[in-house]
Amino acid sequence: MHGRFDGRPAFLATTFVVIDFEATTPTGHPAQPIEVAALALRYKEGAWTGAGRRASLIRPPAFAPVTPAVTAQTGLTPEQLSQAPGPAEALGALDRRFTADKPYLLVAQHAATEANIIHNQREHCPALARIDLLDTIPLAKYIIPGLPNYQLDTLLAHFAIKKPANRHRAYADVDVTAQVFVRLVSAADEDAQLSDLAALVKIAGRTAKCNMPAQEELFDA
């Protein structure tokens, strides 16, 4: 990719961290992560380069057991996850990879899911919880209108990206989401309306909940 983004300082300075969670969805509780994967990408000298990756299983709390449906989708079993680190350890280790003096954007397919999980786990990952997100779905809707839907498998088929054998494992989904993101940015670089990182954020950005203004209560209790 050689185009207008090559000369945009904000774009070149940003580390894009593609992130994905697998989770259980217990009744009456928010989704609880059971696996996380993150792949950091930087764009420099006309090419994308990896800037680090991390993946970890996460032991869910007792109120959020791994159900047969979760096992059928992900392949993860209660036995595997019983030996995994808890959220504090797993997410804390990921959180320490982020340094305060560098600009980051998280990239996710249907970023609301990742945003909610991160926000609900923010005590374990305070740095991560303050990073805004880019959602590949609205970006894809803008760049390639007319697809029947914008699910990850549909985008993989559109871009002729091979579906991974371990689809619905976080580390596999991160890899293919990163490939989709790179293809979308390459297409965006050819669109005169998408001149810089701010334009991408306007279309596909999602503000981290920790960065949103606090809502004042209308009435005192």
* In-domain check, residue 216: no
* In-domain check, residue 68: yes
Q: What is the pLDDT of residue 146?
A: 96
* In-domain check, residue 217: no
| Count of domains forming the chain | 1
Q: What is the pLDDT of residue 7?
A: 61
Conformation bin of residue 57: beta by default, left when phi > 0, alpha when psi is -120 to 50: beta
pLDDT digits (tens, 9 = 90+) for 38-93: 999 999 888 899 999 999 999 999 999 999 999 999 999 999 999 999 999 999 99
* In-domain check, residue 219: no
Q: Whole-model pTM? A: 0.92
- Give the Å distances, CA to CA, from 42 to 11, 95, 198: 9, 18, 17
* In-domain check, residue 145: yes
Residue 104 in contact with residue 17, Cβ under 8 Å? Answer: yes
Domain that holds residue 104: 4-208
- Give the Å distances, CA to CA, from 214 to 65, 115, 124, 131: 33, 17, 21, 17
Please state the φ and ψ torsions of residue 15, each to the nearest 5 degrees: -95, 120
Q: What is the pLDDT of residue 221?
A: 43
Please state the φ and ψ torsions of residue 54, each to the nearest 5 degrees: -155, 140
Q: What is the pLDDT of residue 44?
A: 87
* In-domain check, residue 221: no
Q: What parts of the chain have a pLDDT lower than 50?
A: 220-221
Q: What is the pLDDT of residue 194?
A: 83
Domain of 24, CATH number, reads 3.30.420.10
Q: What is the pLDDT of residue 215?
A: 59
* In-domain check, residue 164: yes
Which parts of the chain fold into alpha helices (H)? 9-13, 68-74, 78-82, 87-95, 111-120, 136-143, 152-158, 170-188, 197-204
